Amino acid sequence: MTNNLGYVRQCFPQIYFDIKQVILLGDNNGPKTAMTIAYPLNGSLYLNITNRCPNACLFCIRSSETGVGYNLWLEREPSAEEVIEAIHDPSGYREIVFCGYGEPLLRPELVVEVSQWLKKWPVKVRLNTNGLADLFLGYDVLPNLRGLIDVVSISLNADNAESFQQLTRSSFGKTAFQAVLDFARRSRNYIPQVLLSVVNYPGVNLEKAKAIATEIGVEFRVREYLE
Ligand code: SF4
């Protein structure tokens, strides 16, 4: 089974993704859910605030065998109060990371409210985002994040619009890649540390992606693919 799936992944990545979704999520009943709102990983505390996302990336950890080791499918989206309660005491963590099994900026008010609370503590706050907020919110959210988010990690995913669309299957189509670049460029005005990241996935040109990050003037990071 594993070897066959490996062949399908290599030759037909989109079919592979769909097969994995059926295997992992079940055909009719959907995934098992839980309320894992905050979870520690590698010295950081990750916040799972939504499962919604306008992309359907071929490498999304939602289609991996074990994800990050927690069940991150939410029964429902938590309130800001529930997120703060789940964090409880952020001291001792390297970073608090808005992440999740979805796109955190789909809940911009919650990100702002929880970040304001986190500012009472001496801890770094990171936001992981797909960089498409301009498109799905319809306004520039970055000024609202000034002074609250210390690091933003934006998923570049590819080095051109066509590859980006093949990999992310974004609901915004080919306009998405340029939106990510614009978001990354403007992030430098509001957030002290800006990273563009790609997943080390077959067909992704890491060198060209790195050159884009250099041209924009932000850091570059490669994330390993979790099967
Ligand atoms: S942007 Fe992130 S959460 Fe959304 S589908 Fe891609 S990898 Fe998954």
Are 162 and 106 found together in one domain?
Answer: yes
- pLDDT at 212 > cutoff 90: yes
Instruction: Name the pLDDT band for 138 (thresholds 50, 70, 90).
Output: very high
Task: Identify whether residues 73 and 146 lie together within a single domain.
Answer: yes
Pair (53, 23) in one structural domain: no
What is d(CA 199, CA 225) in angstroms, rounded to the nearest whole number?
A: 6
Q: State mean pLDDT over 109-115.
A: 98
Alpha-carbon distance 178 to 131, whole Å?
10
Output the pLDDT for position 24.
Answer: 47
pLDDT band at 227 (very low <50, low <70, confident <90, very high): low
Residue among 129, 120, 54, 135 nearest 97 (CA): 129
| Pocket residue to mutate for ligand 1, from 49, 51, 60, most atoms within 8 A of Cβ | 60
Token pair belonging to 134:
């301009």
Question: What pTM did the predictor assign?
Answer: 0.87
In short, whether 112's Cβ falls inside 6 Å of ligand 1 is no
Residue 104, domain extent: 31-223
What's the pLDDT at 143? 98
DSSP per residue, 152-187: EEEE---SSHHHHHHHH--TTTTHHHHHHHHHHHHH
Judge if 93 and 189 occupy the same domain.
Answer: yes
In this predicted model, what pLDDT tens digit does every residue of 14-47 receive, in sequence order?
A: 554 554 444 444 445 667 888 999 999 999 999 9
pLDDT tens profile 53-111 = 999 999 888 876 667 888 899 999 999 999 999 999 999 999 999 997 899 999 999 99
CA of 120 to the centre of ligand 1 (A): 30
What residues have CB less than 8 Å from 189, skipping those under 6 apart? 142
Half-sphere exposure (Cβ direction) of 117: Cα atoms closer than 13 Å: 17
183-194, pLDDT tens digit by residue? 999 999 999 999
CATH code at position 41? 3.20.20.70
153 and 117 together in one domain: yes
Contact 131 CB / ligand 1 (< 6 Å) = no
Alpha-carbon gap, residue 103 to 39, rounded angstroms: 17
Which sign, positive or negative, has the C-alpha torsion 142, 157, 194, 216? negative
Task: Specify whether 111 is located in the same domain as 181.
Answer: yes
H or E stretch at 19:
helix 13-25
pLDDT of 33 reads 86
Beta carbon of 155 within 6 Å of any ligand 1 atom? yes
Query: What is the pLDDT at residue 169?
Result: 96
Cα distance between residue 71 and residue 101, in whole Å: 10
Same domain for 24 and 41, yes or no, is no
> Which residue CA neighbors atom 8 of ligand 1 most closely?
60
Q: What percent of the chain has pLDDT over 90?
A: 74
Looking at the structure of the chain, the number of domains it has is 2
Instruction: Confirm or reject: Cβ of 48 under 6 Å from ligand 1.
Output: no
Q: Are residues 61 and 76 in the same domain?
A: yes
Confidence tier at 224 by pLDDT (50, 70, 90)? confident
Cβ–ligand 1 distance for 56 under 6 Å, the answer yes
Q: Which atom of ligand 1 is nearest to the CA of 199?
A: 7
